[in-house]
Amino acid sequence: MAYEVARALHAPLDVMPVRKIAMPGNPEVAIGAIAGGTVVQDADPAAQIPARVFDDLLRSQRAELRRRERIYRRGLPPLNLRGMSVLLVDDGLATGCTMLAAIREARRLKAPVVVAAAPVASDSAEALVRAEADSVITLHSAAGLFSVGAWYEDFEQVADSEVCELLARFPPAEAPLT
């Protein structure tokens, strides 16, 4: 999705891998997320699990995040976001945890303007994201949205090889002059 947005806007494309931390026994429900050095834990009491269990899940997702960054970046450093306006694109926002982690990571990396975009969002996720992003763009917001995949005809996972192929179509973005 981000590839198509970047192509349409003639904008640079970079990747900010984010990993959902899923509720044990229910992989559709996010109880947190990790992006770079940023960890978000859902404040909803229904999403609370023992700290030891959350830490184990976090450790597992951190390892997967490092693996993906190594593959996707092809040895290149992350884009320097200092002074850049950033458009973060996701396929949908069910809980908002993953987008919130991405927004906070972009802010940690000194992006002064952060815009979040997704074609579909739950009302609660959109409100959560709106509280931290400079702007939020969604095409459809629904009160009862539980599964982003339910809004797609084809919601297959994107293979690492396809992500790498799409990223390779864009020259590495250059850091802004400061």
> Domain segments of the chain: what residues?
2-168
SS3 content of the chain, % helix, strand, coil (to 5): 40, 25, 40
CATH architecture of the domain covering 2-168: 3-Layer(aba) Sandwich (3.40)
pLDDT tens over the chain, length 178 residues = 889 999 999 888 889 999 999 989 888 788 999 999 999 998 776 567 888 999 999 999 999 999 999 999 888 887 789 999 999 999 888 888 999 999 999 999 999 999 999 998 989 899 999 999 999 999 878 776 667 656 556 767 889 999 999 988 887 655 443 3
- Number of Cβ within 10 Å of residue 146's Cβ equals 12
Half-sphere exposure of 141 (CA within 13 A, CB side): 14
Query: d(Cα 46, Cα 20) in Å, to the nearest integer?
Result: 17
Q: What global pTM score does this model have? A: 0.87
